[in-house]
Amino acid sequence: MKTPQEYIDSLRKLDLKVYLLGKRVENVVDDPIIRPSLNAVAMTYALAQDPGYADLMTATSHLTGRKINRFTHIHQSVEDLVRKSKMGRLMGSRTGCCFQRCVGMDALNALSMTTYDIDQRHGTEYNRRFLRYLEYVQENDLVCDGAMTDPKGDRSLPPHRQADPDQYLRVIEERRDGIVVRGAKAHQTGAVNSHEVIVMPTIALREEDRDYAVSFALPSDTAGITYILGRQSCDTRKLEGGRMDVGNVIFGGHEALIVFDDVFVPWERVFMYREYAFAGQLVEQFASYHRQSYACKVGVGDVLIGAARTVAEYNGAERASHVKDKIIEMNHLNETLYCGCIACAAEGHREPSGTYLVDTLLANVHKQNVTRFPYEIARLAQDIAGGLMVTLPSEADLHAPETGKWMQKYFRGRSDIPTEERMRILRLIENLTLGTAAVGYLTESMHGAGSPQAQRIMIARLVDLKQKQALARTLCGIGNAAPG
């Protein structure tokens, strides 16, 4: 397993084509806007080296029997699924942001099942290819970007009817030694911190869209791949040289559009090609895993609750009954989220491939809660923090001789708490609920792993209403109905 420094050194060897704010980024590792997200990924390596976290952060490879980072593991039991949820909460609490390896882990697990099932149906060799690739990922402790979301263009039209057929990534050429693909993947969290990109279809497909039914993996610096990083609220604060105003002084996240401009993929890296009937299965299995992965929001919630309690103390308001009640409510919502991710893991089951999959219904219920509860937790934190969270002058003003004395005087809360400490906790709450981290805690909670409506569709599909009706009819004496 890699150490954090070995991970950082491995990224320096990549020749990524990255653009940010209209300019090519020549040094991705040390760029001040990108580096906090790299630090968050590095924590996945740091905790895996800590014996105190070995049970959560490491696993035993079912392929080699060697100790590996859990982020490269294929779940072999219900306990593996439970540990994954606990690992997500731990990582969220230690970074206060998205740590970016869950998507790749979920893609690996979904492909371990779908490639097996395709082979059973069609006599193909996708699973053998995948297992060779998986062993490579495990042995080198690689970060994989799971690339599923296409730009989609006109949402009312299927891929083959789009005015621009590249709105969904597709195969444009088949060669003796591989395929050539064109398109893009949007909202890619941690993309430029990754060694590998694993591409999957984004929706269920029909025969007319068979050229879009493709899954493969490539090194992240493959020729023809370009990354365009997204903007985040307050992102250029990282360029100012100070620390306080960014809120979270070490960690952060990033998202990118990944463009595939006629990129060649060798056959040994192809895990699905035109098997359109399995695209929906891959999407649903990946989505189930990734909706479970929102255990990370519980960890970030832990940080925000701690910040809210701290600022209440700094303001001298921690004994107020309404403040106590709001913090109780924040904890209630956060622990309810935790119940969901643990439940879908505990109710998991073994698939024919040998991989364990979470309970799909409960995973969707969990993610539906994630689309709501973090927003209320954030609202309550802002309520407790007060308006100074958004009207506070800058760190530079605190240190300027002309203004610093007035800030020290008028922005102090309790007399025994330094003004700077009060400012720092306010900036952290701002970061988590409005700034760069709000992308990972709020908007990602809403749209990550599918929009809220996607979960509602799955809940409607998976709940057995007829069985519930039969129970009700039996208990009230309607006919001879018996529970199904």
* Distance, CA of 291 to CA of 270 (rounded, Å): 25
Q: Is 296 a catalytic residue?
A: yes
| Other C-beta atoms lying within 10 Å of the C-beta of residue 162 | 17
Catalytic residue among 290, 314, 338, 371: 290
Catalytic annotation, pick one of 7, 116, 227, 294 = 294
Question: Rounded distance, CA 398 to CA 272, Å?
Answer: 57
Token pair 């621009």: residue: 164
Residue 366 class from Cβ within 10 Å (0-12 exposed, 13-18 middle, 19+ buried)?
A: buried
Active site residue 335: no
Which ranges constitute the DSSP H helices of 13-162?
A: 35-48, 54-57, 78-95, 102-122, 126-140
Please name the helix (run of DSSP H) or strand (run of DSSP E) that holds residue 465, with its range, or none.
helix 465-476
Note if 98 is an active site residue. Answer: yes
Structure tokens at 98: 């998205």
Beta-strand relationship, 214-219 and 196-199:
antiparallel
- Using a 10 angstrom Cβ sphere, with 0-12 exposed, 13-18 middle and 19 or more buried, the burial of residue 52 is exposed
Q: Where are the beta strands (DSSP E) in 231-365?
A: 255-266, 270-273, 349-350, 356-357
Copy the structure tokens of residue 5.
């420094």
Work out the burial of residue 337: count CB atoms within 10 Å of its CB; fewer than 13 is exposed, 13-18 middle, 19 or more buried. buried
What is the pairing mode between strands 58-60 and 67-69? Answer: antiparallel
H-helix or E-strand containing 67?
A: strand 67-69
Cα–Cα–Cα angle for 51, 56, 62, rounded to 5 degrees: 105
Name the helix (H) or strand (E) containing 377.
helix 373-385
Query: CA-to-CA distance for 22 and 389, rounded, in angstroms?
Result: 31
Which member of 255, 275, 284, 430 is catalytic? 255
Catalytic-residue membership of 294: yes
Catalytic residue among 97, 144, 296, 344: 296
Catalytic residue, chosen from 62, 72, 102, 187, is 102
Residue 391 a catalytic site member? no
290 carries an active-site annotation: yes
198: which strand partners? 146, 217
**Active centre residues (catalytic):** 98, 102, 189, 255, 290, 294, 296, 444
